[in-house]
Structure 1
């Protein structure tokens, strides 16, 4: 496509491309020059995020996820390669986290009022969801990656909200690479991935949000270079029932919303898909089990925990306090 005059930028010019997607907005900060066709790049970024949404949304009645959820037990369902890649990663982290990350929580999400079915908890639906899950998710779902298909071995309702946004950011990073962008930062909601550094060579500075319901405040700054970051918390999306605040993140092991002292968990990883899923897993696992799990898996993670004296940090890797291993 020929470039218009507005597409041409001086070398090293920083520009931001953005658009709506997945109930929020995607954005890409790019250091561009006149070798980049920004119009085509914007279109391809939007298309990449839209593709993930069309395949994996639990809200779109014609998504591939809904098609798989509605399929009879035992029936093979042809699926796109992108969704199979996400399902394979989700099942892997489900096993490694001992069920703390569970893509099979779709019925619980709906029953507790966070899905497309209802906007408040339903006691009968919660009871039914608890009774309908005698098998673990990795026992209930079979993937055949070379054949491009999957089937359920037992009744199962999948929900990929704990991993799909991270994967969408990875797809954005792939598009940026394909277009020759060497200095860019892709973002979707609280998930981000750096492509290289800033044009100056400095890492990208990313704000870590303070976990306060109803407020936007910065807790700290993270530096990224060829690295992804994702944060999961209990403060952004929740329901208030009486005096209780119910997190939208489900603990499948309890068949209930997360209820522990962890306000948020931030994870660094090479891919945003894995950072997203592990942040969810550690949030569900809680302070003691989550920290032990992160250490066992060699993760770089920051836990912000609510204590009587306020927020307390506990971190691993580059998040560790000076003197900690």
Structure 2
């Protein structure tokens, strides 16, 4: 959903607390299809006879359409036109769907996920929405086929949820083309179709917050499930003892502070996993795990404490941890 520079969510998949698939390199799944979208990379891995190449034209069209609708990095996108408007206006069915999901998540998270936080992200050096007022997700509403804002200065940034939706649509497209066994990766967010050709679940590794260290955890990803991670890595900078990252705490109007380094969320769809990973990280060290427990969200929290890595597991995440 951008051109050359990383957005706050795209960078998560590529750089910070991303999910890797080390088992694939030595597995019986030699066929893969790869490409670029939203300023990051996508990959599909499947059996040797999957015929993945037939999916490329449809996937390229799918991702190009989503980019044209919801990339805040493009001045000609639908979302950029909305941001520049005084009152909002008509929107595509897909943008309405993603906006509705974002507003629902804002309410469910008590505002830790806020799709109007774009100007704050840019103010701290991480995003493209340079103009706009303070965050106020309650000032955005959907009326029929339109998205309306209560103040002209309000803007939308759907990067915290739109990439997950793009992955869900890619998985739907793959299934519609007859693909029954595959692992889809879009910038580090993953979705499983079927099981690994060996008969087991697909396995993915949660990257250690310290990139020189080995994987922090191994997850089994069942058929139809998706996983996403939010965290700190190269999309951050240090000021004294503080680390300032790209994920903003809307209440503090500043990057999240504390010992929390990543949150990995398992869900039945990637859009949900994507959004909640951001919301739980933005909630912080204490409120994040409390919110996950309250909402029964399957999540793995990683904290950096002195020389050790502390883990908190919530919901059913324990059922998929190796």
Asked if Structure 1 and Structure 2 have the same fold, meaning a TM-score greater than 0.5 normalized by the shorter chain, the answer is: yes
SS of the residue 1:162 aligns to: helix
Contact 1:49 1:171 in 2 (8 A): no
For residues 272 and 174 of structure 2, what CA distance do their matches in structure 1 show? 19
Partner of 1:291: 289
Deviation, 1:266, is 0.3
Q: Mark the structure with the bigger radius of gyration.
A: 1
RMSD: 2.2
SS of the residue 1:263 aligns to: strand
User: After superposition, what is the alpha-carbon deviation per residue over 1:18-64, rounded to whole angstroms, capped at 9, x for unaligned?
Assistant: 1011111011112363xx65333112122222222221111111111
SS of the residue 1:287 aligns to: coil
Tell me the TM-score normalised to structure 2 length.
0.84
What does 1:47-196 align with in structure 2 at a 5 Å threshold?
47-73=61-87, 75=88, 77-116=89-128, 132-133=133-134, 136-137=136-137, 139-144=138-143, 147-154=144-151, 155-196=153-194
Is 1:278 the counterpart of 2:276? The answer is: yes
User: After superposition, what is the alpha-carbon deviation per residue over 1:182-203, rounded to whole angstroms, capped at 9, x for unaligned?
Assistant: 0011111121111121233211
For residues 206 and 166 of structure 2, what CA distance do their matches in structure 1 show? 20
For residues 127 and 278 of structure 2, what CA distance do their matches in structure 1 show? 17
For residues 305 and 230 of structure 2, what CA distance do their matches in structure 1 show? 18
Unaligned runs of 5+ in 2: 1-27
Contact 2:118 2:129 in 1 (8 A): no
SS of the residue 1:163 aligns to: helix
Is 1:204 the counterpart of 2:202? The answer is: yes
Note closer, same or farther for the CA distance 1:64–1:15 as it changes in structure 2 (3 Å cut): same
Contact 1:166 1:273 in 2 (8 A): yes
Is 1:219 the counterpart of 2:213? The answer is: no
Deviation, 1:319, is 3.5
More relative contact order in 1 or in 2 (CA 8 Å, sep 6+)?
2
SS of the residue 2:160 aligns to: coil
Partner of 2:308: 310
User: After superposition, what is the alpha-carbon deviation per residue over 1:264-299, rounded to whole angstroms, capped at 9, x for unaligned?
Assistant: 000000010110110111101113211111111111
Partner of 1:46: 60
For residues 51 and 293 of structure 1, what CA distance do their matches in structure 2 show? 34
Tell me the TM-score normalised to structure 1 length.
0.83
Deviation, 1:308, is 2.0
Unaligned runs of 5+ in 1: 1-11, 119-124
SS of the residue 1:192 aligns to: strand
Note closer, same or farther for the CA distance 1:140–1:117 as it changes in structure 2 (3 Å cut): closer
